[in-house]
Chains A and B, each alone.
Chain A
Amino acid sequence: DGGITQSPKYLFRKEGQNVTLSCEQNLNHDAMYWYRQDPGQGLRLIYYSQIVNDFQKGDIAEGYSVSREKKESFPLTVTSAQKNPTAFYLCASSPLAGRNEQFFGPGTRLTVL
C-alpha cells in the first residue's frame, strides 16, 4: 500500500518544548515538502528537499528545522523559537524529472498548550 504517512495525527505539547513530526513515504519520490496550514491562509511552505542530505528553506522556515538522511523520511522539528506553533502540518512528496504533482499525507494537528 503506497503513500505518505504522518504521525502522530494529533500532538499536544507544552510551550517551550521542541517537538518532531514524522513523515514517511514509500512512493520512491525524490522531493519532499512540509507545509503549515492555518484557517484562511492556505498552505505555506516551511521547508523542502529535492535530494537526500539537502534541503531548502521555504517561505516560513523560522522556528523550524528538518533533516533528510533517507529518501523516504523527512522529519520536521518545531522548535521553541516558533512563536505560534499551533497549526495543521502537512507533508507532501513528488517525483522530480519535470513533474510537479504533489501527493499529501493526512496531516498532523499540533496544539501547543
Chain B
Amino acid sequence: QQQVKQSPQSLIVQKGGIPIINCAYENTAFDYFPWYQQFPGKGPALLIAIRPDVSEKKEGRFTISFNKSAKQFSLHIMDSQPGDSATYFCAASIESGSRLTFGEGTQLTVNP
C-alpha cells in the first residue's frame, strides 16, 4: 500500500513537445505529492508539488494534474526544451508524517 508506480521508465520527445509522466498510488492517506527533477550526478531538486484539494497546479512550464478518485497524478512539461532532459521522480507522503515514497523514475530526453 506504500508503493508509488511511475510510468514510463523512459521517454523521448522533440523540442516543443509535451512529455507526460504518470504516477499511481494505493494509500488513500497520502496527501502530499511532489515531483523531483534530477540531472546526472546531482541530487534531486523539488520541481512542483500538489495537495489533493486541487486538481491541477501550474508553475511555469510544469503542470501537475491530480485525479483523487483514480489515485493518479501526472506531470506535464509544456514546450519542452533540451535542458529539461533529466530523470523525474514522483513521490507521495502523509503531510503529518516524515517519509516520502518515491516512484521508480522516468528518464526524459528532449531532442533539439
Interface residues of A (CB under 8 A from B): 4, 31, 40-45, 48, 50, 58, 90, 92, 94, 96, 98-107, 109
Contacts and interface: CB of A to CB of B under 8 A. Distances in A.
The list of the 7 closest CB pairs from A to B, nearest first, reads A104-B43, A42-B104, A43-B102, A42-B102, A100-B93, A104-B44, A42-B105
A107 B95 contact: no
Given A100-B93, A104-B44, A107-B42, A42 B99 contact: no
28 contacts: A31-B98, A41-B104, A42-B6, A42-B89, A42-B105, A43-B44, A43-B102, A45-B99, A45-B100, A48-B98, A90-B43, A90-B44, A94-B98, A99-B95, A100-B93, A100-B95, A100-B97, A100-B98, A102-B46, A102-B100, A103-B46, A104-B36, A104-B44, A104-B45, A105-B43, A106-B42, A106-B43, A107-B42
Contacts, number: 54
A109 B41 CA distance: 9
Interface in B1-53: 6, 9, 32, 34, 36, 41-46, 49
B67 to A, nearest CB: 21
B45 to A, nearest CB: 7
